[in-house]
Chain A
Amino acid sequence: KNEVEQSPQNLTAQEGEFITINCSYSVGISALHWLQQHPGGGIVSLFMLSSGKKKHGRLIATINIQEKHSSLHITASHPRDSAVYICAVRALISNFGNEKLTFGTGTRLTIIP
């Protein structure tokens, strides 16, 4: 079982729909990241959160530390939101305090006009 599981793997929706992408993880973490990978391959960071909820424009990310679960929501979805959305969790990898990200396999979102 992967340490980070995302669902769904693929999601197709009509423009304007409310989108939810889920991420579950099995390890103790210090933070969770949501990333967006564009069709051309570039990766950008959307959110980093360790508790509660964050909002940026039409994007909302929530995390429940007790349930080891996070969701990414997109309101009023648009074709330009079409991308792969990746969840990654940050955890310690050494006794010296170094941390690493463990990535989910991503959710491919397609928004149809």
Chain B
Amino acid sequence: NAGVTQTPKFRILKIGQSMTLQCTQDMNHNYMYWYRQDPGMGLKLIYYSVGAGITDKGEVPNGYNVSRSTTEDFPLRLELAAPSQTSVYFCASSLGRTSGYNEQFFGPGTRLTVL
């Protein structure tokens, strides 16, 4: 199993450009998450999904959109990139909210710079 994969690893965008960060997991996990990690800050939840076709906002959703058409894929879309979106983005997945256990598996991250 590859686990959670993310592409691209690095990207530089100009202000106003758009892009999609890809995330795929091959563990048949129901839950998937997008986080951003800013220097000196804890990871913040952007969006999450509890299954195909179901998504919901996290703490910092403004400027982003997601979709979940399949169990495996959970892309994150930036429509109008802004310097405030410069960050490292992590995708994660977990089996589900089974009682007492919900380990999250993280992708390697995407380092995005908006200039």
Residues of chain A at the chain B interface (Cβ within 8 Å):
2, 4, 31, 33, 35, 41-45, 48, 50, 86, 88, 90, 94, 97-106
Contacts and interface: CB of A to CB of B under 8 A. Distances in A.
Given A43-B109, A45-B104, A86-B43, 19 more contacts: A31-B100, A31-B102, A33-B104, A41-B108, A43-B106, A45-B103, A45-B105, A86-B42, A88-B42, A88-B43, A90-B102, A94-B56, A97-B97, A98-B56, A99-B102, A101-B43, A103-B42, A103-B44, A105-B41
A109 B102 CA distance: 26
Contacts, number: 56
Interface secondary structure of A, over-half rule? strand
B109 A41 contact: yes
Complex A-B, nearest 6 residue pairs according to Cβ-Cβ distance, in ascending order: A103-B42, A43-B106, A103-B43, A41-B109, A105-B42, A45-B103
B59, B88, B97, most chain A CB atoms within 10 A: B97
B90 interface: yes
A102 B58 CA distance: 11
A106 B43 CA distance: 10
